[in-house]
Structures are given as structure tokens and as C-alpha cells.
Structure 1
Amino acid sequence: MSVPENVKKRYEQLKAEIEEHNYRYYVLADPIISDQEYDKLFRELLEIEKKYPELKAPDSPSQRIGGTVLEGFNKVAHSVPMLSLDNTYNEEEIMEFHKRVLKNSNRNNVDYLCELKIDGVSVAIRYVNGLLDLALTRGDGLIGEDITENVKTVASIPLKLRKNIDIEVRGEIYMPIKEFVRINVEREEKGLSIFANPRNATAGTLKLLDSTEVAKRKLNSFIYYIIFPENYGLKTQEEALTFLKELGFRVNLNYKKAENINEVIDFWKKWNSMRRELEYEADGIVVKVNEFDIQRILGETVRSPRWAIAFKFQAEQKEAKLVKVKFQVGSTGIITPVAEFSPIRLEGTIVKRASLHNFDYVKERDIREGDYVIVEKAGGIIPQVIGPVKEKRTGEEKIIEPPKECPVCGGKVGKIKSEEVAIRCLNPSCPEKLLRSLENFVSRECMNIQGLGEKLLKRMIDAGLIKDIADLYYLNDEKLRSLGKGIGDKIIQNILNQIEDSKNRDLYSLINALGIPNVGAKTAKDLAYHFKSIENLMNASFSDLVEIEGIGEDTARAIINFFSQEEVKKIIDKLKDAGVNMGYIQVKKEGPLNGKIICQTGSLSRMTRQEFAEYVESKGGTFTETLTKKTDILVVGENPGSKLAKAQQYGTLIMTEEEFFNKY
């Protein structure tokens, strides 16, 4: 049946009216009709679409109701990498950032734009001819997940722009605090687990496969960034925010142009004290060089822009009663005192315990069991006890003494080195040490073996199935079934599949999983990239290790000592025999450096050697530490070494840092 012309006309009129009211409500905060009048218009639109489904358009406001059920989220490459921001927490550090900006831009002063840092989920949104075409999560910064259907349900994100242009914007989707509280009350009443904070609730909502459920949670947004702003005649971040608002996006108006760094600090102080008045979580301010020309001069590293920084708010502090101190044994045997205190709400989550780090920390601060203590979250994440409230002492508080024996196995305790702060369990067979090693090994940041939680791992240890981390790869159906109650066919198959999949993890995951003292995720990546195999790393000399940027003498010694242990060598052999990957897996990426071998000499002003290596690979090239006749390009920084003369001898293309980055 054909659609009457008057119906078509009314439908288009309704679409335009409803979107105009959305814009006035969500962007301008200046509605001109009541909720009842708005609902009446919306119902009329839905009735027309129901009667004439062929009219329903991609930019119809009815898209916000949801209704699409996905099987999963497709991976999509970002047009431009979504970088993360470096963080700073005090005035001294923001002054250092300012000095670097002036030095690297060769300016006496710059203007900054200060914006609130919304604690939500970053998204990239593309529009084609003014229509919402694609929305992506940040992902790993290079590849995100397609969450377009879910983003359409966010009322403040326009389905159709107020100008018919192609554009990509970026911003933050968040859950308002009131909505967060409402959802948690509902979940608690239904016996469901509650969300820890609004950011987690937002992330969980955007990963729901049913967009109808997403629509129920009333997410909101702020958009703050335009890809290639010069294409729209924009010269500053301030102009970009104005342009975004004109297009129909919701822009956070709590921003300020600062003409000097002191005004930046004043803005930070103001919102540090006022942030609790906001209807959303903000954990700092973002400080951006205002002029895009200067931003381009400053550039970025592989991870973050040099022209912007997150200036985090000072941690919220609360007082709590320290009820008990327990001793926790870690994977290397270190015994850590852990404070358990009366529950407090801190930075949006309920906190009941915090590490006291070591016994020297406890002694220096004179923290006692029974004290009232001041608690804060370091970096807004990790709870820590700052110190006691001594004026509240009653005399019944107990001094915290280091244990004379392991609190788990009863074995001897002591220090490996006299200068060491940590007290360790010295029993090599301590089940708690093994449990913590296994928890680290299977964690997401390491071998990512899902389904193996603390309780199940403990059951395996108690049953004698696992005596070291390598024994995980020798589990089978019969051994798992012997654990008895609660371990059925489905769980067994899932565990064995997960363990099998983990054999193909990257080398850096394995290095991180081994629990080498002083070696975390970043250092593990640097070691994997440099040595390319576990065997090379095990045979590395002290001088080989300290040559790598970021690895100091203490870490180098820790690595050598770790791999010199016979127990560790046996574990590596067992892992190798089980088929666990021991080599570097290089993922080839397409880009302008495809097929080219790049070498570097001297220091670069834009990034470290490791960051440069990652940059080369992100552009499809191969980075090498050694210059040979096969090397295509030598990039020369300050104070170049002997590679420069060798490149001249070989006839290798030599490029300055500026020439290389201008071209690639």
C-alpha cells in the first residue's frame, strides 16, 4: 500500500520536531514543551511507523528505543589511533608539563583549554552526510568494537547532525549518578551483583547485546574532540567545542581557556572542591594546548599526545576504624600486612581493606590495630592507609609485629637480602606462594586462562594436582574429575580449552606470567620485543639487560637471579615440553612502511626507542637494532652513533627525525 503524501509530510515534520526538542533538552538544557507534549509527539511517530514500516528511517528518533539483539561485536580499525592521556596529580608535575610544552613548541607562552575529565567510556563516532554511521569503543587504541546500535539509544547523541557533513568525533559516554544508584537498588532487590561505580556500569551497559536493555539505562554523553578539525576551518579546541554544539552534540560547558599555567591550576583547584556537586563522576581536568597548529608541532608518542595531559583531582580521604590486620603471602613469599576496617564509601565504591605494604611502612607511620585511620585511593583506584588519627587513641590499640613464622604453612620467615624491606616465607613448598603464583599466571594480563579462580586453584593444590605453574598444562579430564563435587563435563572442557588456547599467547604474556621480581607488563613487553625468545632472555648478560631503556641495575639483577634458579629452569622446560609458545609473535600491520626495515641512531625528541619501534611496526615496517645492508632507512636523532657512518658507507637512506615523521 502506498503512503499518502500528507502522511509522509507529517512523518518528516515529526522527526524534525522531536530531534529539535531532543537538542533543546539534552544540548541546550532549555526545553520549551512539557514531557507529556513530547511523549504525545513520540507516540504519533511510532503509530505512523507501525502502520507504514517502509517510512522508518535510520535517523528516526524511534531508533533510540533499541530492539536490536546482536550475536557479538565486530572489530573495526580506528581511522586515527585513540590515544590515552598521561596523568599528573600535583602542581609541580603540571608545571613540568608546561615547561616541556614551551620547550618543544619553542614558545614563550601558550593558551590552554581546560575541560572536566569525565569518568566514563571513550567512544569514536562517525557520521556520513550528517547521519550516524558507526560508533566504536576505544579497544586497544588501534581497533575498537562496533557498538553503533547501543550508542543510538543514547538520547544526547544525534542520529542526524544539524549539517549534512562527513565527520568523526570522539567523546565520553557516562552513566549519571542518580541512574547508577537507581540501577544498583534494582539489582540488589533482585539478588544480582551491584556495579562498583558508574564507569563500570557504563562499560557493562555498552557491552550488552540487547539494545533494548541499553536504552533502559539512560546513558548520557559529552563530545569533545574532532578528527582533522582543520577540514572544517577550525584553529583551536575552543572553536571545536563551539562547532560541536552547533552540529547538535552535547558539550560540557564547564571549560575554561587559560592564558597561563596559573589559571590552569586555579581551574583545577576550583573543580577539585566542587566536583561532588556534579550529576556525573569527574576524576580530574584535561589540559589541552588550545591552538591546533601548536598541537601538531608537539605531536604525540605511540601512547599519548604531548599537547594534552590529565590533571587528576586529589584523592578523597575518609576515616575508618582499623579492626584487624591480616598477613597475606604473595607469589614470591613476601608477607604483606593487610588492614581490614569498617566499610567506607570512597571515590564511588565500598572499601573494606587495604594493603599496608610492608612492616617498615607500618612502623614509620605508627599504625596500630584498633586505630582510626585515614584511607584514600592512590590514583583514584588502589585503597591505601595514609596514617592513624592519634588523637582518637584509647590506649587499647595493639602494635603490629612482623610474624615469627609463615601465617599459612608455619615455615621459617626472613629476608633474602639484609637491605631488603620485605619479610618472606622461606619455605619453597608453601601452598600460599604457589596459589598466588598461579593466580598471577592465569590472570587476564598474563596467560588469560579464564575459569580458574582462587577457590578452584586452591582445590587443585590441596589435591596435589599442581605443584608448580607448569603443572597447569598437564591437567587432563581424569585429574580434574578427581576434584569431585561441582566439577562437571562442561567446566572440565572449558578449563582444558582455555589452557590449550593459552599456549599461543604472546611472549610478553608469558614473561609477565612468570612472576619475575621487578618485571611488570610494560617491562615484559620491552624484554619480549628486544630478546624475541625466552631462551635469549635466560642467556642475557647484565650489560645486555641494562642497555634496554627503562631497565635499571636492580631489575637486571633480579632477572638474572630469577633465571639462575634450578627450579625456574625446570618449570621453563616443562612449559616448553607442553607446547607453550616461547617466541615473539609479530603481528604484521598494513601501512606506508610495508616491507621496509628501519633502524635508529641517537635520541629522538618525540619518543623513546621502544616507542619508536612500536610506531614503525604500527605503520607496517620492521624495526631493527642492528644496521645492515638490508636496512632501508636510518632515522637520525641527537648525538648519533657509529651507525650513521656505516649507513653512509652502505648507501642506506638517511632521514632526520623531522623528515621521517613528516613522511610517515
Structure 2
Amino acid sequence: MIEKRILELRKQLHQYNYEYHALDKPTIADTEYDQLLHELVTLENENPEFYDANSPTQKIGGEIAEGFTKVSHRFPMYSLGNAFSLEDLQEFDARVRSQFADVEYIVELKIDGLAMSIDYEDGQFTQAVTRGDGSVGEDVTANLRVINSVPLRLNEDVDVTVRGEVFMPVSSFTHVNESRREMGEALFANCRNAAAGTMRQLDASVVRSRGLDGFWYTLVNARELGISSQSEALAFLKKIGFKVNPEYRQFATIEAVYERVQEIEAMRDVLGYDIDGAVIKVNQFAIQDALGFTIRTPRFAIAYKFKAEEVKSVVEDIFVTVGRTGKITPNAKLLPVQISGSLVSYATLHNEDYITNKDIRVGDTVIVRKAGEIIPEIVSVDVNGRDGTQVPYVFPTQCPVCHEHLVRFEGEADHYCVNVDCPAKIAEALVHFASRDAMNIDTLGERRVYQLHEAGLLKTIPDIYRLHTRIEAMEVLDKMGSKSVEKLLAAIEASKQNSVEKWLFGLGIRHVGAKTSSLIAAHYGSIQNIMKATVEELLTIDEVGTVIAESVTGFFEIDANRHLVEELVDMGLNPEYTQRVTSAKFAGMKFVLTGTLTTMGRSDAKKLIEAQGGDVVGSVSAKTDVVVYGDSAGSKLTKAQELGITTWTEMQFLEEVNA
């Protein structure tokens, strides 16, 4: 009888939670809900053999985690490309309609929170993982469990992976900051920072107390459930218990989409939660699948970013900083102002020409905005506000750290410190190597790097992998107890397994970003092969031009850089590209790509083939298994047909990849 009553109470409370949080239609008074919950808590405490991790009582919290485990996403969490105008949306629409004339769009609010992926098995909540770098996130299951609007038990016994955004409502933000002010703690700058700080808490009861919420908008395995569109997926998510933002709309034209975007921008201040734009997606999943992805973004969706808020401030000072490449960046210290929910005290001034062209002076009244809602910048100067005390800024001729002479190369706008021993360059290079897009070494952030560098424990990149021999020296540093040191060393050791493109990017080769590093690593397969590459060979890689090719070869022509790579390999860093094979579907098969592919670049197609065990070659022969052809295919297609080799159109290729 006791077990029956416990199960009955759980079922009732799950239903009441769904009605209250997902449907916003409570059917029971708060006092009655509290009585039922109290009864369930009492029964579960008296009968621990009936414990269930997904009981409504588990939202009370109290679990304290040791740390956050890294988890690989089964399906990557991509970023979105951005649009800032009707023209940008029309270009996006033209690309889509060049292949699919009959297309519908779904417009959803772009919630300013933390992207999250959650899993359910047989309708039971099992795991929650942060977006992380899109491939690997952190397990925050205990923290998601205590958010009231996250269902622990779905209305149907289905296996689903769902993605959405966890955020802090404005009302919760106000309450949390009031509490922090009373406790003498630093205030959160905005709702997003508050949500991010909360999700990093190891004590789930703290998470519960801060009133986080969530909207859910992506059903990853929708096709398996027979769902064929985003609008159907949203309806299904709501039906099975998820809180879905009600402001989504469906349109047949991009002009109607733009009108809706303008409506959303007008109502952003009265929503009760922060948004920073709108997301436009192709509604039909069949078209989404055919359009596919670039290396970072889906081709079937785009984010419309709202215009940045502009406010007045005063330039209190101008100073320069030194980056990892020695680049000197001037910055303005501003009279603090609120922009888009954040307190802004500094803005980048880019280079000497930027300051000169805008005639920015200390003491000027200026218009400031956040570029792309992230980086503060000065838009213009109010010259009418000058009183004669403002004088033109004189760009320094010496490095502010090592005091060596600065160099401005011919044809470039930036100044550089060329001293290889400059402490600032060394520290910034270490920060970059450990950063998320590079080696993603947890807890080795900017402050920690500078702390270890100043203590003489980090002077070179290999020193990171020698820190396990300096435990006692680290434990005496501020906020570096034994547990912190243990966690840092574990993250460093784990980073050795990263695919080689991560540390290729981390080396800081000029003009070589994260995407280019991936393309080069995928092409050559190992760091040893990359070091042998010539300019001519590198130029055969899509998206690698002369500047990048010469930068890569120039870097590896320097003995010190080659020795650095060899030392890192000796220390156990993985020298191989390990992102290549995810299945054996094309194992042992040789492919040739010819013609113009319209839904992807050649490099994207090559990556898809290699990910499934195949190999891409340059010419057609009797050993070729498949020729994939696009528009304007020429002699290679003809030769394949003459030899009786299998040929696939681009659409057939995508069907085979996704089969």
C-alpha cells in the first residue's frame, strides 16, 4: 500500500508540475501542492527502498558534486550564422530557395542563456550536458534536475534527446542580486552571467534557490519518431511535458519573417527574460537534411541579431595591452555605463589608425555599443562636448611590458612587440593554448595562467605538462589547495588525448584559426605530416590561401617551433587527427568529387566521407568506387561513366551519408 501511494503521489505531482510550468495553467492551489509534496517526502524518507532519482522530491536539491565530468555529444551542437538586416535574411533565403522553392520558415525567440542538451530513456530524465565547445560539454545532471520547469518524467515513455536554453528570468535575477548585495557579495552583471554562474555551482540546492528556467526547442531524434517538421517537433515537445516558448510563428516568405523579427525586437523589454535576437529555421526536416551543415553552422537556420544598444560615456584613459603574437591593442577606460544589461568599463580601440580616424581623446564624450552584443566599441565622438582639455592621443613607441621598441610592418595597421622574451607574449600564448577552442584545459584560465607564470611555474607551453612535478609549489599559491591542484592536473592529463587540430590551433600560428586547423589536420592526418607540408601542397586544401600556407610553412621552418612540437609529442600529446572515422560505412572505398557542390563545400564533403571510413582521391581510375558530382561536372564524370563506376548526384550522396 505504501509503494502504491508513493507512485500515485509522484504521478500526481509530475502532472501538476507539467500544468504549472509547461502549460502555465495550474489546476491545484499552491498550499494543496505543498501538502502532497510534504506527504511524499515523508513517505520516501521512511521508506528509502522506494528511492527514485526522478521523483518530484528530487527537485528540492541538496546534492553536492565533486566537479563536472566531460561528456561527448552524440550529435554536435552547432553555432548559428548571423544576420543583421533584411538584406542578410534575403541572401539566406535566396541560398535556400536556389534548391528548394517551396519552403516554410519557423521564427523563434533567441533566448540569452546557456545552451543545453538533455536525454530521456523510456520517458525518464537521465542526463543533462552543457554545450561546451559543441563537441564536448559538461555533465550538469544534478543541477538541471532541480530546475522546476525541467520534467523528470515525461508524459510518454519515449527515448528523446532534447536541446534548449537554460536562463534566469529577470525576476529571479533581481532577487538573487538583492540577496548578494545584503551578503556583501559581488553582483551579477546580467541575467546570462547569473545563469552561467549558477550552473557552475557544485551544490544543487544553490541552483534550486536561484530560480532558473528553461525553454526547449530542438528534438534531436525527431525523424525516428516520425516527426517531419520543426512545428510538429515543438508541438510534440509541449505534449510530452517540455516548456516550449509560445512566441514561435510559421511563415512562407522571408519578408514576413522580417516583419516578425521586428515585432520581437519591439517586445523584448516586456518579456520577463532576456533575448538577443530571433532564430529562423527551415520548417521541413527533409529540406534541413538536404541543406546540411558547414563545419560550424547549419545551412538551414540563421540567427537574426538585434541592433546593439548605444549609450554615452566618457573616455577616462587610453592604454595598450600585449597579445600572444606581440600585437599591441589600444583600449579605452570608460566611465562605467550599462549596455544591454552589462556594466561596461572598457572598449577596444583596435589600432593607431582607428584612434586617429575617429579622433578619440582622453576626456571625450563618446557613443559606445557592444559589437555583436559582445565586445564594447566606440562608435563616435561628441566633438561638441570638448572643452579644450582633450588632446590627440600619441601612440606609444615602446612595449608597456618589456619596454622594447614597437614595430609597425609595412602595409599593416597594427604595432607589434617583436621581443621573443616579452613576458606578456609568453603569458598570452599560454592562455591561448589552454583556451576552450584549443586544448580546453579546465581551470587553466587567464587568471590561473598569469598566477602560475608570475610564480615562475609556467614559462613555456611544455611547462603545462610539467606541473605535476610542482605540486607543492602550486599548493601554497592563493586559492590553489590540494583539490584545485588535483583537478587542474587531471584536466591537463586529459587534454593529451585531444585530436591534433586542437593543439595545432593552440600553437598560435598567425592567420590559422580553429576552422583552418581542423581542415589542415583532417587533410594531413598528423602533426608530423603537417610539418613536412609545402606551400603548394597546402594550397590544394579548400579555404587555405597563400597567406595561411606561407604562415604554416614559415612557422615550421623555425627550429625552435619544430623542437616544441617534438617535445609535446614526447610528453604524450596525441599527434594524430582522431575526428576522422565515426563509422565504417565507406570503409576502404575511394571517392572522387567533381563539379560544383551546392549544399556544401568540397572540404565538407571530404570530411563526411572520411568520417565514415572512405578516402577522397584526385583522379578517376579503375580503383575508384564512387564519383560524386555537382553542377558543371566535366571529364571526370565522363570517364567514370565510361569505366562503369558508380556515380552519385549530390543529393544521392547525402542520402547515402544519412542512411
| Residue 547 of structure 2 is aligned to residue 545 of structure 1 | no
Which of the residues 208, 232, 242 maps onto 1:215? Answer: 208
Change over 3 Å in CA distance of 1:269–1:395 after alignment to 2:
farther
Letter in 2 for 1:657: E
Give the equivalent residue in structure 1 for 2:59.
64
* Mean Cα deviation higher: 14-23 or 259-268: 14-23
Q: Is the 8 A contact 1:302 1:612 kept in 2?
A: no
| Residue 264 of structure 2 is aligned to residue 268 of structure 1 | no
Q: Is the 8 A contact 1:601 1:636 kept in 2?
A: yes
Change over 3 Å in CA distance of 1:328–1:29 after alignment to 2:
same
Letter in 2 for 1:348: G
Change over 3 Å in CA distance of 1:248–1:321 after alignment to 2:
same
Give the equivalent residue in structure 2 for 1:572.
562
Shift of 1:219: 2.0
Q: Which residues of structure 2 form unaligned runs of 5+?
A: none
SS of alignment partner, residue 41 of structure 1:
helix
1:462-481 counterparts in 2 under 5 A? none
* Mean Cα deviation higher: 481-490 or 24-33: 481-490
Shift of 1:101: 1.4
| Residue 433 of structure 2 is aligned to residue 438 of structure 1 | no
SS of alignment partner, residue 430 of structure 2:
helix
Structure-1-length-normalised TM-score? 0.85
Shift of 1:292: 3.7
| Residue 578 of structure 2 is aligned to residue 586 of structure 1 | yes
| Residue 505 of structure 2 is aligned to residue 515 of structure 1 | no
Give the equivalent residue in structure 1 for 2:195.
202
| Residue 519 of structure 2 is aligned to residue 526 of structure 1 | yes
Shift of 1:458: 6.2
Change over 3 Å in CA distance of 1:462–1:168 after alignment to 2:
closer
* Mean Cα deviation higher: 399-408 or 128-137: 128-137
| Residue 4 of structure 2 is aligned to residue 8 of structure 1 | yes
Q: Is the 8 A contact 1:117 1:283 kept in 2?
A: yes
Letter in 1 for 2:41: L
Shift of 1:288: 1.8
Which of the residues 8, 24, 28 maps onto 2:23? Answer: 28
| Residue 219 of structure 2 is aligned to residue 226 of structure 1 | yes
Q: Deviations over 1:135-182 (max 9, x none)?
A: 444455456555444333222233333345554433222221222343
Structure-2-length-normalised TM-score? 0.85
Give the equivalent residue in structure 2 for 1:95.
90
Q: Is the 8 A contact 1:322 1:370 kept in 2?
A: yes
* Mean Cα deviation higher: 422-431 or 488-497: 488-497
Change over 3 Å in CA distance of 1:208–1:267 after alignment to 2:
same
Change over 3 Å in CA distance of 1:297–1:88 after alignment to 2:
same
Give the equivalent residue in structure 2 for 1:104.
99
Shift of 1:236: 4.1
1:488-499 counterparts in 2 under 5 A? none
Letter in 2 for 1:363: T
CA–CA distance in 2 between the matches of 1:189 and 1:630? Answer: 74
Q: Deviations over 1:260-313 (max 9, x none)?
A: 212211221222232122221211111122334443443444543322211111
CA–CA distance in 1 between the matches of 2:50 and 2:487? Answer: 47
Give the equivalent residue in structure 2 for 1:660.
653
Which of the residues 30, 40, 52 maps onto 1:45? Answer: 40
Give the equivalent residue in structure 1 for 2:368.
375
1:113-132 counterparts in 2 under 5 A? 113-132=106-125
* Mean Cα deviation higher: 364-373 or 470-479: 470-479
CA–CA distance in 2 between the matches of 1:476 and 1:26? Answer: 48
Q: Is the 8 A contact 1:302 1:615 kept in 2?
A: no
Q: Deviations over 1:452-501 (max 9, x none)?
A: 66677668877988776567667895899699977999688888887676
CA–CA distance in 1 between the matches of 2:223 and 2:443? Answer: 49
Identical-residue share of aligned pairs (%): 37
| Residue 334 of structure 2 is aligned to residue 358 of structure 1 | no
Which of the residues 172, 175, 188 maps onto 2:168? Answer: 175
Q: Deviations over 1:358-399 (max 9, x none)?
A: 111111112111112222222222222222223322222121
SS of alignment partner, residue 316 of structure 2:
strand
Give the equivalent residue in structure 1 for 2:242.
249
CA–CA distance in 2 between the matches of 1:431 and 1:143? Answer: 32
SS of alignment partner, residue 36 of structure 1:
helix
CA–CA distance in 1 between the matches of 2:490 and 2:214? Answer: 39
Letter in 2 for 1:218: G
Give the equivalent residue in structure 2 for 1:421.
413
Q: Is the 8 A contact 1:442 1:448 kept in 2?
A: yes
Change over 3 Å in CA distance of 1:600–1:90 after alignment to 2:
farther
Change over 3 Å in CA distance of 1:261–1:453 after alignment to 2:
closer
Q: Which residues of structure 1 form unaligned runs of 5+?
A: none
Shift of 1:552: 2.8
Change over 3 Å in CA distance of 1:648–1:128 after alignment to 2:
same
Shift of 1:83: 3.5
Give the equivalent residue in structure 2 for 1:156.
149
Please, what is the CA RMSD of the aligned residues?
3.9
* Mean Cα deviation higher: 302-311 or 621-630: 621-630
Q: Deviations over 1:500-557 (max 9, x none)?
A: 7666653323332332222221112222222344454445443333332222333334
Shift of 1:412: 2.3
* Mean Cα deviation higher: 592-601 or 388-397: 592-601
Shift of 1:95: 1.0
* Mean Cα deviation higher: 32-41 or 357-366: 32-41
Give the equivalent residue in structure 2 for 1:393.
386
CA–CA distance in 1 between the matches of 2:144 and 2:220? Answer: 19
CA–CA distance in 2 between the matches of 1:500 and 1:125? Answer: 28
Q: Is the 8 A contact 2:496 2:574 kept in 1?
A: no
Give the equivalent residue in structure 2 for 1:86.
81
Q: Is the 8 A contact 2:522 2:607 kept in 1?
A: no
CA–CA distance in 2 between the matches of 1:657 and 1:612? Answer: 9
Q: Deviations over 1:386-418 (max 9, x none)?
A: 22223322222121122233333332223222x
Give the equivalent residue in structure 2 for 1:312.
305
* Mean Cα deviation higher: 314-323 or 424-433: 424-433
Q: Deviations over 1:583-616 (max 9, x none)?
A: 3332464425263344341232222222223323
Letter in 2 for 1:8: K
CA–CA distance in 2 between the matches of 1:495 and 1:57? Answer: 34
CA–CA distance in 2 between the matches of 1:291 and 1:450? Answer: 39
Which of the residues 276, 280, 286 maps onto 1:287? Answer: 280
Q: Is the 8 A contact 2:133 2:436 kept in 1?
A: no
SS of alignment partner, residue 99 of structure 2:
helix
* Mean Cα deviation higher: 457-466 or 280-289: 457-466
CA–CA distance in 2 between the matches of 1:468 and 1:168? Answer: 42
CA–CA distance in 1 between the matches of 2:640 and 2:423? Answer: 56
